[in-house]
Structure 1
Amino acid sequence: MATLDSVGTAGKAASEVLINVGQIVPLVGIIAALFREIIALAEKAGHNKRFCRRLAERVRVANQTLAQIPIKDENDLALKNYVQAITNCKDFIEKISNSGTFMKLFTAHEIEAAYKNVTEELDVAINQLGLTMCIRTSKDIEDDRKLFLSEIKTSFQVIEEVTKDLYDIGMDVQQRFVAFEAKLDTIHTAVDNVSKGVITNNKTLENSKIPCNQITDCGEEDEEKRGHIVKKIYIYQTVAQKEIGHIYSLENSLQKSIELIEREVAILTELKNCQNIITFYGTMQRSGKLYIISEWAEKGDLNTYLKNHTETWEFKLRIATEIAGGLVFCHISNFSSSRKESDVTTKVKDITLRYRWLAPEKLENYKDNEYTKQCDIYSFAIVLWELAAQEVPFADVTVVTDLITKITSGERPPLIKDTPPAYEKIMQQGWQRLPIKRPTADLMFKELKSCYLKSLKPL
C-alpha cells in the first residue's frame, strides 16, 4: 500500500489510487486531481505543515478505500458531497499554509471555526459513502484538534516574534499582522513594478542612491577587504561596500541583471529594520561601478568565522536560532533566501561550494530556477551541520558529479559527537530527501530557540 510520503514529491501516483473502479468517470478524475493539488500544497506548506500532511493522509486513505467500491452512479449525491468536502480541504490547506491568507484568517478570527467546519464536513462525507474504515474515533478527533491548535499557536507565536521589532510597541498582534501585510504589499508591488515596467520608469534604484562622497575609506590600520566586500565609513559608522556590477554593462548588455538588482533593492529597502537581516543603507555609483552599502559584519561570514574559532554549543545554538529567525522572516515575506545562479550579486569562485548546500531536488533539476521554501529548509539543515562540525560539508569531495551523486542518493554528512539531541533531530528532519517530510521554518525556529534557552539555564 502506498503511503503519503511515497507519493509526496509529485503526487504522481494520485491518479492510480482510484484506477480500479470499473470505469473512469468524471467525478473520479476530479477526486484524483484534487488529491494531487492537496499533496502539492502540503509539500510546499510554509506553515502548519504537520497538520496539512495529516489532513492529506486522511484524504489519501479515504480515496484508496473508495477505489475498492464499485461506483454505480457518477451523480450519486454522496460522491458529490465527498468531492465538495475534499475541495474544501484543499482550500483550507492552501489558506493555513500560506503566510498572507494565514494572517488574514487570524485577524478575522475565522481559523478555528474554518477548521471545525472542514473536518466535520469530511467526516460526514466519508460516513455517507460508507467508508467505515476511514471514520475517525473520538480519540482521533481529539488528537487532530490538539495537533492543529499546537501548529497554529506555534506559527502565530513565531510570526509575532520575528516581526515585533518592525512596529510600534503599543500595537497588539492583530495590528502588527495588518501592518506587516501592508508592508508586504508594498514590497511585492515594488518588485512587480520592476518585473512589468521599463527600468527607467522605476525609481527603486534611483531612490536608494547614496552620494559617493559620503562613503569614505577607513584608516589604514582599520582597512579590511573580504573578496568583493570592502570595509568603509558612512555617516560615522562602519559599513560594507559590495561591488555588484558595472553600470555600462548592466544598462547595455545585461538588462535582466539590472532588473534583479532593482528587485533586490526593493526588498532590502523594506526589510532594513528586521533584526535578523543585515541592515541595508542604499546603493552607490562610483567610477562606472555599482555598489550595495550595508551593515558591516564585524566577525565576517559564517564559513570564515567557524574556520578560525572554536565555539561553545551555547554560541552555536544562538547563531542557529538567529539564522532560523531570518529564514522565517524571508518565508513569511514569501521570499526565498536561496541565491540563483544568475543573481548578479553572487560571485562564487569554487562552484562546488554552491552544490554542497543545494537540496537534492535542485541538484536533479538545476536548470529550474524556482527555489522553494523546502529548498531553503534543506540548505539551512546543512548550515546547522556546518555549525556543529565547524567545517564545510563534504569537504573531501572536489568533483561536482561525485557530490551530486552522494546527495541525491541520500548520503548526508556524518553526525557530530555531543550534538544536543533536539538540534540533531531538527537538522535530520530538515535534510530529508522528500520535501514533504521536512519541517517548516516556524518549527525549526521554535525548536532551536527552545534548545538555546535550555543551554542558558544552570545545571
Structure 2
Amino acid sequence: MHSAIKATPEFIAGATEVAIGFSSLEITKASLGAVGTVGEAIKPFIPLIAAVTSIIGEVVKIYENVEYNKKICNALMDRVQIADGAIKILNRRKQENEKNFRNEEYYKAFVKFTDVMTRIKDFIKDVSQLQGYKKYLHASSIKDKFSNLVNDFEIVMKDLNFTMTIANEEQRKIDQQALTEDIAEMTRFLEKIEGGITCGNNQINTVLQEVILIKNQIESIHDIKKSNLPIPESIKANKIEPNELTDPLGGKKSDRRGKGEPYTYRKSLKQSIDVACIPTTLPDDNSQKTQKIQAQLTILGKLRDSPNILKFYGLSYIDNRLVKVFEWAEFGTLREVYNEYDISWTAKVTIALDICRGITFLHSCSILHHDIRCENIMVTARLEPKITNFEYARLTTDSTSNLTNITEIVHWLAPEKLRNANTQSYNMKCEVFSFGMLLWELAFEKIPYERWEMAKIKEYVLSNKREKITFGKATPEIKNLQKIYAKIIVSAWQDDPQIRASLQQIFLELHDLYTTYCSSGYNTSPALKPDKTLDLDGSRAISVSDEGGFDLPDLDMEFSIDAIQEIIPLEEGIAAHKRKETEVAWECFNAHAELDNTTAKYWKGYYLWEGYAGQKDRVEASKLFQAAADDGLADAQLRYAFSLVGNPGTKFNKNVFIEYLTKAADNNNSTAQFNLGDLYIHGKLGVPKDELLGKKYLKLAALSNQPKAIEILQKLNINIYNDD
C-alpha cells in the first residue's frame, strides 16, 4: 500500500533554494555544469529544468499556507515531490541521459512536463483558498480537473522515463477518498459560514474580489524601486459631512471613552446609527504615504460586508478635528466584558463562532490581522463580536510586520514567530495559533500567562508547553461542551504549523458545538452573569452539596485533551528499574510488551515473576518468558527454563527445561552455560554424565567470568585456557 510522501524539510530546502540570491537559470547552469562539458545536446533543456525547479519552489510556498482542501493538495504534493526527485536524478545522471537530450520527442515531453507542473501549481493555489475555489462551481469539475492532472502527470513522467512510485490502484483509491472527503467538508463549510463570505446558493461574495483588486492596486507602491505609479484618485475613504453627525439622544457618561485626550465620542450618524468617532491625523498632501493610508481605509470600508468586523463608515470632522467613524460597540472590548461580567459557556461558543467568521472573512480577502486577542474584539449591545484595531494588519503578500507592541502580543504569539520574530513570515497559521489563544482567553476570562515576563513566556511556549485547561464545576451538558471546546483550542495551538488546525476545521467544529449546545434547550441562562459567578477553572472552593452535588471536574492538563499517552523508550524504562522506580518501569514494559516488543515481554514477565510494582502472576510470567525466548532472547530462554521448576501453575518438563537452557547457553548466556555445564558434569536431573560437554559449557561460562563456573573448574583442576 502506498504511503503518502511528505514535504520534508530537506525537500523544501532543496526546492526553494532557487529563490535565494540566484536566478533559477543560473543555478541550473551551475548544477548541470558547463554546456561544453556536458554537450550541446543539453542546451535546450537548461531553461526547462530551471522553470520546473522554480515551479516546485513556488508550490512549496503555496502549500505552506493551504487553508482548504488539504487532502487534495497533499495528493498533488506527493507528485510534486516525485518530480523534484526526478529532476535531481536527471541532474546527477546527465551524462547517461545525453541520448535523450538529443531526442526531439523527449524535448517535447519535457515541455509538456513544465506545463503539467504549472497546472498543478495553479490548481493547488486555487483549491486551497476561497478566492480560487469559486472557479469550481460543481464538485464534478474539481474531480475532473484533479483526475486530468494526475493522468497527464503520469503520462509525461512515463514519456520522460522518470521513475514513478505512486501510480497504482491503491493510490487511486486513496486519492478518490481524499477528493470525496475534502469536497464534502468544503460543501458543508460554505453552507454554514455566512458572515459576508457567501451569498445566495453558497456563492462566494464578490466583495472579497473587490478587496483583492484594490489591494493589488496599492501593492505597486509598497516597493518604490519597482513602481512610482500613484494610486488612482478614486481610491479614497468615504467622506461624511460633519452635519450628518449629531449628539445621540439620551446621552450618558459612557458616550465618551478613553483615559485621556484624544477621547472617542459616541455620535449618531444620520440620526439613526450609533457610531464611534475616533480622532486621527492624515497628512494633508497627495504623497504616496497619504494615498496608501486612503487606500487602506477604502479597504477597511469594504470589510463592512462582514457582520463580524467593526464597520468603518468613513472620515469626517468634529470641531474641525479629523475623525474616523466606526460602528458603536456598546459593551466596549471583549476583554472589558469579561472583566466586568462572567460570560456563560453557551455565549462563549456563540462569540467564538462569530469571531471565527470574521477572521475567515479577512483571510478570504488576503488580509492578516496580526493581533488577534480579546482586546481587539468589540462587543455590541446584542453581544455580537466585531474585530477591530487593524493597525498591524497586512496583506498576505506583504513582508513581515515590525511589531512594536511585541511585549503585549507575545501572550498570543505563535511559536514560530517567537523563535525568530523578525525573519519568520507571519502567515495564516500564525493567526490560527493566536485565535486558539483567544479561545483560551475567552474561556477562562484572563490574559494567557498573565504577569509573566516575555522571556519566560518564550521559553515556556518553545518548550511545547501551554496554558492549563482546567474546568470548574458545571452541569454534565456544559462539561461535554467544555471538553469539545478544549479540543478545539488544542488543535489550534499545535507547535508544528503543518498539523495545526485550519480555520475551516475550527469553524466546523465550533458550528457543531453551537448547534448542539447553544439551542434553546440548553441556552436558557443569561449570556452575561455577575462577575465571579462561574467557577471557570476550578480555582474556587466548591462544596459537593451545592446544586445537587455535581461531580467534581476530572480534567486537569497543561496541553492536550484526550492526547496520545506517550510511551517512554524501553531504555528509559530499564534505567528506571535500575533506579528502583518500579511503577515507571512497569508502565513502560507493559506498554511496549503490548506492542509486541520482545525485550519488553521479558521485562514484563520478570516484573510479574518478582511481584514488582504490585503485580505478581508467575503463570503469565512464564508465558511471557517463553514468547521472548522463542524470539531468541537469551535471558528469556534462561528465565523460561527455570520458570518450569517449582512453579505451581506450570508442569515441569525436563526435556523442555534442557532444551531452553541449551538455547540460552548457545546464545552466550553465561549463567545458562554454568548451569548446563554443572548439569552434565555431575549428571543432575537424572541426565547421564557427559564430562566433555560439561567442561565445554563450564569453560565458556568461566571465560565470561562466571564465578561459580570458575570455582568448579578449579576444584576439578581443569585449565580454562587449554584443552587438557
TM-score range, shorter chain: 0.7 to 0.9
* CA 115–132 in structure 1, closer or farther in 2 if over 3 Å, else same: closer
Q: Structure 1 residues 49 and 219, CA, compared in 2 at 3 Å: closer, same or farther?
A: same
Residue in 1 aligned with 2:492? 430
Determine the structure 2 residue equivalent to 1:447: 509
Cα 1:284–1:40, aligned 2, differ >3 Å: closer, same or farther?
A: same
Secondary structure at the aligned position of 2:367 is classed as coil
1:106 equivalent among 111, 120, 137: 137
The residue identity in structure 1 corresponding to 2:508 is K
Contact 1:41–1:93 (8 Å) recurs in 2: yes
User: Partners of 2:289 and 2:409 in 1: how far apart?
Assistant: 20
- The answer for the alignment partner of 1:334 in structure 2 is 366
Indicate the residue corresponding to 1:308 in structure 2: 340
2:268 is matched with which residue: 233, 243, 247? 233
More deviation, 367-376/268-277: 367-376
Letter paired with 2:445: Q
Aligned-partner Cα distance in 2 for 1:263–1:231: 25
Relative to 1, partners in 2 of residues 1:423 and 1:4: Cα closer, same or farther, differing over 3 Å?
farther
1:178/1:287 CA distance change after superposition, 3 Å: closer
Match of 2:70 among 33, 49, 53: 49
Query: Structure 1 pair 260/87, CA: closer, same or farther in 2 (3 Å)?
Result: closer
State the SS of the aligned residue for 1:439: coil
Paired AA for residue 384 in structure 1:
L
| 1:147 paired to 2:178 | yes
Q: Shift of residue 413 of structure 1?
A: 2.5
Instruction: Note if contact 1:381-1:431 (Cα within 8 Å) is conserved in structure 2.
Output: yes
Residue of structure 2 aligned with 1:373, choices 428, 431, 442: 428
Alignment CA distance shift 1:148-1:427 (3 Å): farther
Deviations 1:251-270 (A, max 9, x none): 37x96664454233212322
Equivalent-residue separation in structure 1 for 2:87 and 2:197 (angstroms): 50
| 1:285 pairs with one of 311, 314, 317 | 317
**Closer, same or farther: CA 200–185 of 1 in aligned 2, 3 Å:** closer
Identify if the C-alpha distance between structure 1 residues 85 and 343 changes in structure 2 by more than 3 Å, giving closer, same or farther. Answer: closer
3-state SS of the aligned residue for 2:494?
coil
Larger radius of gyration: 2
Structure 2 equivalent of residue 271 of structure 1: 303
Counterpart residue number, 1:298: 330
Q: Does 1:40 align with 2:41?
A: no
**Partner deviation per Cα, 1:78-101 (whole Å, 9 max, x = no partner):** 777665544432222122123333
> 1:206-240 deviations in whole A, cap 9, x for unaligned?
x3334156242662345341455443333244322
Q: How does 1:22-421 map to 2 (within 5 A)?
A: 26=46, 32-60=53-81, 63-64=84-85, 72-73=96-97, 75=101, 77=106, 84-106=115-137, 110-125=141-156, 129=161, 131=163, 133-138=165-170, 140-159=171-190, 161-163=192-194, 171-173=200-202, 176-177=203-204, 179-180=206-207, 183-184=210-211, 187-188=214-215, 191=218, 198=230, 201-202=233-234, 204-205=236-237, 207-211=238-242, 214-216=245-247, 219-226=251-258, 229-234=264-269, 235-243=271-279, 245-247=280-282, 250-251=283-284, 258-287=290-319, 289-338=321-370, 351-367=406-422, 371-399=426-454, 401-417=455-471, 420-421=482-483
One-letter amino acid of the structure 2 residue matched with residue 251 of structure 1: D
How far 1:61 sits from its partner (Å)?
A: 5.4
Call closer, same or farther: CA 1:68–1:221 in 2, change over 3 Å. Answer: closer
Q: Distance in 1 between matches of 2:196 and 2:232?
A: 34
SS of residue in 2 equivalent to 1:4: coil
| Contact preservation (8 Å) 2:195, 2:361 | no
TM-score (norm 1): 0.78
1:12 deviates by 1.2
Alpha-carbon shift at residue 50 of structure 1 (Å): 3.6
Q: Which residue of 1 aligns with 2:9?
A: 7
On the 8 A contact 1:280/1:294 being kept in 2, the answer is: yes
Rounded to whole Å, the distance in 2 between the matches of 1:28 and 1:4 is 23
CA RMSD of aligned residues (A): 4.3
Cα distance, 1:324 vs. partner?
0.8
CA distance in 2, matches of 1:144, 1:314: 39
Separation in 2 of the partners of 1:375 and 1:350?
16
Question: Could you tell which deviates more after superposition, 109-118 or 434-443?
Answer: 434-443
User: Residue 492 of structure 2 contacts residue 501 of structure 2 at CA under 8 Å; is this kept in 1?
Assistant: yes
SS in 2 for 1:104: coil
Gaps of 5+ in 2: 18-27, 34-41, 223-227, 372-389, 395-402, 472-478, 523-724
Give the counterpart letter for 2:457 in structure 1. L
Post-superposition offset of 1:455: 1.7
**Is contact 2:218–2:231 with CA below 8 Å preserved after alignment?**
no
Letter of the structure 1 residue corresponding to residue 448 of structure 2: P
Query: CA separation of 1:65/1:199 partners in 2, compared to 1, >3 Å: closer, same or farther?
Result: closer
- Aligned partners of 1:231, 1:246: CA distance in 2, in Å? 19
Distance 2:193 2:292 in 1: 26
Q: Do the aligned residues in 1 keep the contact of 2:350 with 2:518 (CA within 8 Å)? A: no
TM-superposed deviation, 1:42: 0.9
Shift of residue 285 of structure 1? 2.3
Mapped contact 2:195–2:308 kept (Cα < 8 A)? no
8 Å contact kept, 2:197–2:361 = no
1:261–1:453 Cα change, 3 Å: same
Distance across 1 between alignment mates of 2:148 and 2:66: 21
The residue type paired with residue 232 of structure 1 is: K
* TM-aligned CA deviation for residue 204 of structure 1: 1.5
1:319 to partner: Cα distance:
1.1
* Distance change in 2, residues 1:84/1:68 (3 Å): same
Change in Cα spacing, 1:412 to 1:215, as seen in structure 2 (3 Å) is farther
Q: What TM-score results when the alignment is normalised by the length of structure 2?
A: 0.52
Greater relative CO (CA pairs within 8 A, separation 6+):
1
Cα distance, 1:197 vs structure 2: 5.8
User: For 1:113-152, what per-residue CA distance to the aligned partner results, in whole angstroms no more than 9, with x for missing partners?
Assistant: 21111122334455664746433333x3233223223323
Q: Contact 2:68–2:128 (CA<8 Å) still a contact in 1? A: yes
Q: Percent identity?
A: 21
Q: For 1:125 and 1:425, how far apart are their aligned partners in 2? A: 44
Amino acid at match of 2:438: V
Question: In structure 1, what is the Cα distance between the partners aligned to 2:498 and 2:234?
Answer: 39
Q: 2: CA distance between counterparts of 1:141 and 1:108?
A: 18
Alpha carbons of 1:406 and 1:117: their partners in 2 closer, same or farther (altered >3 Å)?
Answer: same
